[in-house]
Amino acid sequence: MDESTNAAGDAPVDQDGTTGDGAVSGGTAGGSSADDSAAGSDTAGSGAAETGAPQEIRPPALAPTPPMGFNNWNSTQCGPEFTDSMIRGIADLFLSLGLKDAGYEYVNIDDCWALPQRDADGDLVPDPVRFPEGMKPLVDYVHSKGLKFGIYTSAGTRTCSERGFPGALGHERQDAALFASWGVDYLKYDNCHNQGVDARLRYRAMRDAIAATGRPIVLSVCEWGENRPWEWAFEVGQLWRTTPDIRDSWDSVLEIAKANMALAEHAGPNRWNDPDMLEVGNGGLTWEECRTHFSLWAMMAAPLLIGVDLRSVAPEAVEILTNREVIALDQDPLGEQARVVRSEDGLHVLVKRLQDGGRAVALFNENDVPARISTSAAEAGLPRSTGYRLRDVWARTDAHSAGDVTAWVPPHGAVVYRVTPEPAWLLLPPAVDAGVEPVLSRPGALPLVDPDAPSLVTTSLGDNGWLPVLGARVDLEAPAGWRVRPRGQRARSVLAGGDRLDTTWEVLPPAGLEPGRYRLTALFAYLYGWGRRVSADLEVVVPHRLPSGTSYLSDAPWLRASNGFGPVEVDTSNGEAEAGDGGPLTVNGRVFEKGLGVHAPSSVEYFTGGRCTSVSAFVGVDDEKPAAGSVVFQVWADERKVADSGALTTRDDAVELVADVTGARTVRLVVTDAGNGVDSDHGDWGDLKATCE
């Protein structure tokens, strides 16, 4: 399921706005309803539609820095709480929570604000239950707070809501004039029900319609990146969505961030890549992940549109959303999006040029274990200097470096520095990094510890400055009953600049320990001016052991799982939202009492510990989506793919998949989208079993 579930897709377009055969696409493709009959009237009347050539009209410079504000969709969607009083309350909270002072200015409403039908004059009508006074008084109220107001519609015959509210295709001039009469400052222009009309024509038509009103309205091109808008939408609006909808999960944030990170060359003042709204505080992310989410959006010079319901927002979310130092990176007047200068095994270095000549450097760890990430002032593009100031924008601390920019980054975390040449580096303490990590069998593996044999972890303390620290020492704490033994040196009387104290430790949990997650803590101490202490945590996993013989895998706890929509379901299909919202596992009429229900892209990992020989299942697309859906099922034994179903659709019967997993420490069950997007990709692992010694 995604934003485009009910949308007709656009034809591919060439850079000049024509379809592949050179003809200009205009009007609608096959629609004949009363609403569709007008489609193309305003659209075809735009200069782009008449000539097919790029127009001289350009959007005004209304967004010299990325827009900041709020949108209700991520928290309320079309729920009954989406009302006039709610939006007025949000405007009030901009002031009381310090959001306006932090730079947020747009209060934007999303879909479902209108009635399902236009009035006799063809105008959109605000829902009188949600907005009993109409829209103009609400806009005026937002303006009275020194804020700006944004509204939503779609570049199609209907909006994206399943309820089917009127879209603007064929009504661009009329709708733009109405929005301008209300005092609207920002338009989110979606892509649903576009009737196959060329994307550039549809969005140019709204650009021209806005220009005709004479009112400055920011145009947000929300076509989900389907037609590479970063290559042409700067002619149309001030920002453009580069990805499908964000979801309130780490997997979604990561997928979208990595897609948008590759588009740095296309961003700049008044032309911003938009990786979608913020999920900070909505509950699906840890606070560490929320900080990372906010950090990456700021580094990418992305619009910062709050998606949490501010009426019930947690203080931790407000603290993240109002971090002035992080916001300053997003709003830096130079307007550059950070570029990826290093990326390997889930560890990334992003560098963003700043107007003052400094650099913002983000060290980003997408993996499930801590990691030391390093770059240098030279790699960041800074000039040679006797020393550099490293300002940690989250910890709000300063240190000096001889040139290295290094940090231990927690799982799913990001450390962000503002780095500048510092002639007076001697006045700052040396930059010290400290952390603990497991010795892994492969990149991306979980830190598994087994009572049958010792596991290894490494602690590390590094001095990245010019001056030494004294009396460096490390200890490793574990839960009661665990055996911890160092294999090497754990103290240094002098730790010189550029040097490290690395220690390997054997860790052995007690026999009979319950499966679960346990914390190891490294305690570092050193002297620089005065005694300083630093701690670092590592969460390790004692895995569940599968029983001997053949058993249902769905009865066993997995190590970790990710899923496209909703959670992975046990013994039911995936319903896309809350746990337990699916039905019986059913593939082309065949029902399975046991198994897993997932939605692509999905991965479920189990511990097999080298004891299992085979994993088997009957796989296919669940009958919940009879008209769409295509997936591929794969079984991975450690890093080896040992089974692949090939592409399966809703028309296919369940296919038996048997995988030889002999010797594997872990097994991953993967479902992909078969290369054509994830819409309706509900996959079932029916009768899922493992055979172990």
Q: What is the set of active-site residues?
A: 190, 245
- Number of residues that this document lists for the chain: 693
DSSP 8-state assignment for residue 284:
S
Closest Cα partner for 39 from 196, 263, 163, 184?
196
**C-alpha to C-alpha distance for 518 and 479, rounded to whole angstroms:** 8
**C-alpha to C-alpha distance for 570 and 568, rounded to whole angstroms:** 7
Task: Give all strands of the β-sheet with 186-190 in edge-to-edge order.
Answer: 272-274, 239-241, 218-221, 186-190, 148-154, 106-108, 68-71, 304-306
Amino acid identity, position 244 = P
Question: With the C-alpha atoms ordered 211, 213, 214, 218, is the resulting torsion angle positive or negative?
Answer: negative
Pairing of strands 530-542, 516-528: antiparallel
Neighbours of 680 (CB within 10 A): 22
**C-alpha to C-alpha distance for 176 and 206, rounded to whole angstroms:** 7
**C-alpha to C-alpha distance for 303 and 353, rounded to whole angstroms:** 18
In the block, residue with structure tokens 């009112």:
215
> What are phi and psi for residue 426, nearest 5 degrees?
-60, -20
**C-alpha to C-alpha distance for 128 and 124, rounded to whole angstroms:** 12
Do 604 and 668 meet the contact criterion of CB atoms below 8 Å apart? yes
**C-alpha to C-alpha distance for 17 and 198, rounded to whole angstroms:** 7
Say how many CA atoms lie within 13 Å of 271 toward its Cβ. 17
Closest Cα partner for 111 from 190, 36, 8?
190
> What are phi and psi for residue 19, nearest 5 degrees?
-75, 175
